[in-house]
Amino acid sequence: MAGILVYALHDDEGNFNKNSLGAISEAAKLAGELGTEAAAVVVGEVGDEACAALGAYGAGKVYRAKAAPEGLAQPIVDVMAKVVADEGFAYALIGGGFLGFEIGAGLTARLNAGVTMEVTEVKVQDGKLVAERPVLQDSAIVDVGYVGEPGIIIGRLNAFDATERDGGSAEVVDVEVELSEWSTKATMVNRGEQRGEDVNIEDADILVGGGRGLGEAANFKLAEDLAAALGGAVAATRAVVDAGWYPYAAQIGQTGKTVAPKLYLAAGISGAIQHKVGMQSSENILAINKDQNAPIFEFCDLGVVGDLHKILPKLTEAIKAKKSG
């Protein structure tokens, strides 16, 4: 069997990550073209039914390692390396996300295997998988092939859509894996702590995103006033959330939310890949940034090079006037 093995991440309530489900669907599609099968690895105490349900996304088998903890990469590397070696998988495919980078990287070292990250598309060429990866701020796309097996593919966030099919049920196989000594030397003390208030940005038609260019936490008031005038909500980048300027629940990008509002107004956001992946599907993107070289100007619909501290207050007033007039 030369199939494709996927890692399926879940939260503490047992819900599988959307990007993991997307990776299973993608693996199933590719496995079909290669004439092989897709399977998934699950760690921790996940129920039979929940594991079998991954069949609906295209997993033929689910390898479950109950004793391995979820949330840290190295124990999962132990599990995947064993399953790849025992079952002879030709590829490991990991959905876009934070942990995926660590798992894919660990597997590379463990299996002496090639890895490609930030992959946006995978295609079959001469019976082998070729990964497409955008590089240099998405200004070029490289096709990457693998020398030998297995090949490891780490997807970009939201690169693969989860598609459910009818009546699929995966066979659940329990695996016993002895963890490497070093994999037990990192332990989770507290997982998934929410910081700051709970805000809903996913349902908003209009979002004003604030980044480091706002200068300081207090200046989020400018974004809030503008959002209020537009009838929208305020979102934020990872940099300002990590800095404690804005709540985690408002964060867009790699480790935050993915949004696609009618209007995304980026204020003081450079548009790094980690942010872009969470908002690039927005219908209209308007960027205000004083750095004319900011990557966001490469993919916005309207870009304004200027000082947002001058522009935002006047824009807020003008929109209010327009709406009342």
Partner 1 sequence: MKICCLVKEVPDAAVQKRIDPSTMRLDRSGEKNLNPFDTHGIEAAMQIREGGAAEVDEIVAVTMGPESAVRALHKAVALGADRSVHLTDGALAGSDVCATGYALAKTLESENPDLVLLGQQSDDGECYTIGAVVADHLKMPSLTQVIKIDVSDGKLVCERQAEYGYDTVEVQLPAVISVGDAINEPRYPSLKAIMGAKKKPLETYATADVGIEAASVGETGSKTQVLAVNPPAEKEAGEIIEDEDTNETVEKIVAWLDERKLI
Q: 100-139: which residues touch partner 1 (CB under 8 A)?
A: 101-102, 104-106, 108-110, 112-118, 125, 130, 134-136, 138-139
Residues from 2 through 41 that contact partner 1 (CB under 8 A): 9, 11-12, 17
CA atoms 300, 303, 307, 311: torsion sign: negative
98 belongs to the binding site for partner 1 (CB under 8 A): yes
97 belongs to the binding site for partner 1 (CB under 8 A): yes
Rounded-to-10 torsion of CA 92, 155, 204, 213: 140
Rank residues 154 and 172 by Cβ distance to partner 1 and give the closer one.
154
> Both ends of the chain: CA-CA distance in Å?
68
299 belongs to the binding site for partner 1 (CB under 8 A): yes
Rank residues 172 and 234 by Cβ distance to partner 1 and give the closer one.
234
Rank residues 167 and 190 by Cβ distance to partner 1 and give the closer one.
190
The backbone torsions φ and ψ at residue 135, rounded to the nearest 5 degrees and listed phi first, read: -130, 170
DSSP character at residue 296: G
The contact pattern for partner 1, residues 247-266, with x = CB under 8 A and - = no contact, is -x------x------xx---
Binding residues for partner 1, rule CB under 8 A, total 95
319 belongs to the binding site for partner 1 (CB under 8 A): yes
Q: How many Å apart are CA 163 and CA 119, to the nearest integer? A: 19
306 belongs to the binding site for partner 1 (CB under 8 A): yes
Query: Which residues lie across from 132 on neighbouring strands?
Result: 121, 143
72 belongs to the binding site for partner 1 (CB under 8 A): yes
Q: How far is the CB of 61 from partner 1 (least distance, A)?
A: 24
Residues from 188 through 247 that contact partner 1 (CB under 8 A): 188-195, 206, 230, 238-239, 241-243
145 belongs to the binding site for partner 1 (CB under 8 A): yes
Rank residues 167 and 194 by Cβ distance to partner 1 and give the closer one.
194
For the sheet with 114-119, list strands across it: 114-119, 151-155, 91-94, 4-7, 38-43, 61-65, 171-174
CA distances 50 to 16, 54, 76, 191, 310, Å, are 9, 7, 19, 21, 53
293 belongs to the binding site for partner 1 (CB under 8 A): yes
